[in-house]
Structure 1
């Protein structure tokens, strides 16, 4: 194999004994990747160092489980320190797969590598290649610049609105690029545009350029507005929010014959959609990003007939009386429905420091903001929060940043984060956890440059130079637009079933488990007062609410 620098991303095979087998298997990738072979841990380290120095990207590193000059774990750690963005696979020969699995599989739980696979024994081992292509796809969506941009934004750099739109497009699974107005590409895109050159301008494949002033403008162009629904039509079910609960409701509702509409204020997936990698969701042993999980669920619901409208916050819900439909109001139009499921989830709490709020989008981010990670290579970043979302964000950022510090008000993460994430964080030498701490100030010239961190034990403030601040501060339901008829607890979460005050029960019988105090209006997922704040739990509630909707519609 050629050792000259390549513009193609590399796949590196560390194969001291079975290079012929792995080369044969990876021949299918050679048109789009430069496949290189090394024979030892040291040779692999040298190859990775040269690739980094030459500016070549390494998408995937596949190693045999036994190396002549190093134990597997130290070798993986050394390679990771050279190129942390490469996905890492251990492929064990079938003669000692079971023997090595006992020693190596625990490393998956601490993030030492991404997959432990049985080396193929013949042609068309698609189970093996499914794992490989999933990892390459994950690398391509989070590390590499898109080869083909589904949308292009013509704008000078440093525009806050452009940053917001690109984040929305990333969460919707649409690769995008920013084009300089003075470039030849911009002139090509604007060849048929006859409007004012009021940047930014949005161009989508198959459509001309247009001016926009909000994320909603872009969302409505792509996905339409609720007003597009026939005003004389009453749908069976309208779902408010397209997080895991809302998506599950849409899939099960539309698959069982209900005409279903989903209205989402931001991007499909809600907070879960911003997660760089969810590793404990049932059925995805190698993990799946929140964006991919959300878009798969959306496509599944669309297959059954669900209509989605994104970028339209609900402004009011008017319960139907005496058999009349419920009315859901948005600035883009109203939807009338026989039943409503509220699955709007929760919103991250704001930090409330003016200097930092002014820098949102310019180094300061609420949520994981996966798309921002690429810009932080070689810089120090801080993640504030102790939940699973904060842990997932820190692990993803550690692939790019020089250092990642997790700040929490508690002494440590043990009370708020899943054990598998804590172990992965402890193994990763890029990440450190600082307990009993909070951000109290920050600033910078045009973008974030520093924050002030208070030690809650000593009350001392320490200034820290950082390029990124990711705020995952816990969450509030943010559904003050609900009518008073729908009972909520003291924090604003929606009450359902037996949690509703008894004086509101009809005939002494409590509403159904996921039904609110208003017949025909239900709630599922994180917006409910006593729900478990987990993706799988929200999905389960979304599926469970559909039989209750059917029962209500059958009795109405």
Structure 2
């Protein structure tokens, strides 16, 4: 399966060309660091690009003060992270391993250089993506989680980090590593904890607090104006962000959960053109996020929009849950859909402790050598069942109907039927959940009656409820809450809604094809309508 930055040895150290180095020197300032001096501190703004002329820079283990990884940065290489693109923070502490001379270019100047010299931009982004991939694969991120298996709050942080491609380390309570973290940070020996670096212990951890530390949940200045506000960071929203940035529009993408949307919970997508061996939904959309940031599109998350108001001049004012507001000449609704919560007693009680709405590596490790249930008959459910069958002892797919033909791709249903580790039960559904602090068994009902099946994990992937409550009745919806567009909304363009300046793309749009490829296509095409609307608004 293909991933971004897959060949680290080839990609991490791609050299810049002489002309690129000359441009960097012209835009930057030469600085000298003595051996032992820190060039980057965890959580500090990633506000500059650092080209190494002489000396050596190493990554530091914050708990021991030793070198963390064997490789270092030397002459002709550069120190930077993917957060340079977004204005986030350093995730690794960096130190001069010897007396070192560098050229430092302020972030804003470096972004201008990258926009002006696309060949240099390609090299820089390739290297930064490869470094992030190495962090994800090696698990040497500076976000440290202790007690993920036992504590739901810590588990939510882990899910947020995993879905946003943020590297982290996770240690079990009682392990030697957890004891070392506790002694280094001054926390209780057997207490679940979230630590950033060594010095920042996150009390009452939440994804929002961690996002703030990593620079993801940045404060947008009150009433800052954008050409387009894109709500939702799934395939449609991120695609719109790529094309908006490429067209020079000031674009802001916000999402209340994570990059990827529902597609981000898919472990393997095999029918997306260009990826013959498949690609994970999170990886695919992260590629798009990096691409959009390259063009200047900004991302903020987790950030929920409470309401949207149309102003007298035709522009819009969006109010976030924290009370802050942003202004936008246009709005692209790409909030997608969410799986429906089943009407079963104790469902909420077991969410995160046996009830899951995503099937990724993060959830799969709780299912090793056990029997798991997947509820649903669409592609997402099928992909989840195939993925989970690699770690679970057995996967039971519960389908309410009597066939998969109308809801699942043929290649996928054929694989499910042929896999001995998967059983498909038609006309079956879950009616009761059993367990103490976590799920232990499920009552399944079919035409033959009820039976109890021991299971520690149920993956719910059924139904599609649109996320449109925040639209404040500004646009027309169908009976199920999906946004009407085109002729059904009295509009001309295919993605325009009943309110001029608001567009809808992807799964949230009534009549859309629920496929990643179509969502990406809609997100790209809608920007031509947005550009025309913004231009006309500026003229009036």
Q: TM-score, normalised by structure 1?
A: 0.69
Q: Given the alignment, which residue of 352, 375, 381 partners 2:372?
A: 381
Query: Match for residue 342 of structure 1?
Result: 333
* Offset, 1:264: 0.4
The match for 2:503 among 506, 509, 522 is: 522
- Whether contact under 8 Å (1:146, 1:176) holds in the other structure is no
Tell whether 2:450 aligns with 1:469. no
Cα 1:152–1:362 shift into 2, 3 Å:
same
Would the aligned equivalents of 1:220 and 1:310 in 2 still touch at CA under 8 Å? no
Task: Decide which structure has the larger Cα Rg and report it.
Answer: 1
Task: Give the 5 Å matches for 1:29-48.
Answer: none
1:270 match = 261
Structure 1: distance between partners of 2:358 and 2:216: 26
Q: CA deviation at 1:284?
A: 0.5
Q: Tell whether the 8 Å contact from 2:241 to 2:251 is kept in structure 1 after alignment.
A: yes
Does the Cα contact within 8 Å between 1:496 and 1:513 map onto a contact in 2?
A: yes
Distance in 2 separating the partners of 1:196 and 1:323 = 55
State the alpha-carbon separation in 2 of the partners of residues 284 and 337 from structure 1. 35
Alignment of 1:489 with 2:481, yes or no, is: no
Match of 2:291 in 1: 300
Checking the alignment, whether the CA contact within 8 Å between 2:238 and 2:285 is kept in structure 1 is yes
Q: Deviations over 1:194-250 (max 9, x none)?
A: 899996432235873322442222223323436x22335311111100000000000
Matched residue, 1:478? 467
Pairing 1:205-354 to 2, within 5 Å after superposition: 205=197, 208-225=200-217, 228-231=219-222, 233-331=224-322, 333-354=324-345
Q: Tell me the distance in 2 between the aligned counterparts of 1:336 and 1:467.
A: 46
Question: Which residue number in structure 1 is paired with residue 167 of structure 2?
Answer: 175
Aligned equivalent of 1:544, options 500, 517, 525: 525
Task: Point out where structure 2 has 5 or more consecutive residues left out of the alignment.
Answer: 1-6, 11-131
Q: 1:251 to 1:520 in 2, by over 3 A?
A: same
* Residue from 491, 494, 500 that aligns with 1:513: 494
Paired residues of 2:223 and 2:326 also in contact (CA < 8 A): no
- The change in CA–CA distance for 1:155 and 1:382 in structure 2 (over 3 A counts) is closer
**What are the Cα deviations for residues 336-369 of structure 1, in whole angstroms up to 9, with x where unaligned?**
1111101000011001212233111112212324
Deviates more, 1:268-277 or 1:313-322: 313-322
Q: Residue 299 and residue 319 in structure 1: after superposition, are their counterparts in 2 closer, same or farther (change >3 A)?
A: same
CA contact (8 A) 1:328 1:336 kept: no
User: Take 1:350 and 1:187, find their aligned partners in 2: how far apart are those partners?
Assistant: 38
Task: Please give the alpha-carbon distance, in whole angstroms, between the structure 2 residues aligned to 1:468 and 1:415.
Answer: 27
Query: How far apart are residue 183 of structure 1 and its match?
Result: 5.7
Aligned partners of 2:393, 2:380: CA distance in 1, in Å? 20
Taking the aligned partners of 1:413 and 1:140, their CA distance within structure 2 comes to: 39
Matches within 5 A, 1:12-51: none
**Partner Cα distance (2:249, 2:418) in 1:** 48
**Aligned-pair distance for 1:380?**
0.6
Any conservation in 2 of the 1:384–1:473 contact (CA below 8 Å)?
A: yes
Gaps of 5+ in 1: 1-25, 30-136, 503-509
Q: Select which of 363, 368, 372 maps to 2:363.
A: 372
In the TM superposition, residue 188 of structure 1 has moved relative to its aligned partner by 5.2
Distance 1:294 1:155 in 2: 29
Q: 1:138 to 1:372 in 2, by over 3 A?
A: farther
Greater Cα shift, 325-334 or 353-362: 325-334
Q: 1:405 to 1:324 in 2, by over 3 A?
A: closer
Distance 1:466 1:324, change over 3 A: closer
TM-score, normalisation: structure 2: 0.71
Matched, 1:202 2:194: yes
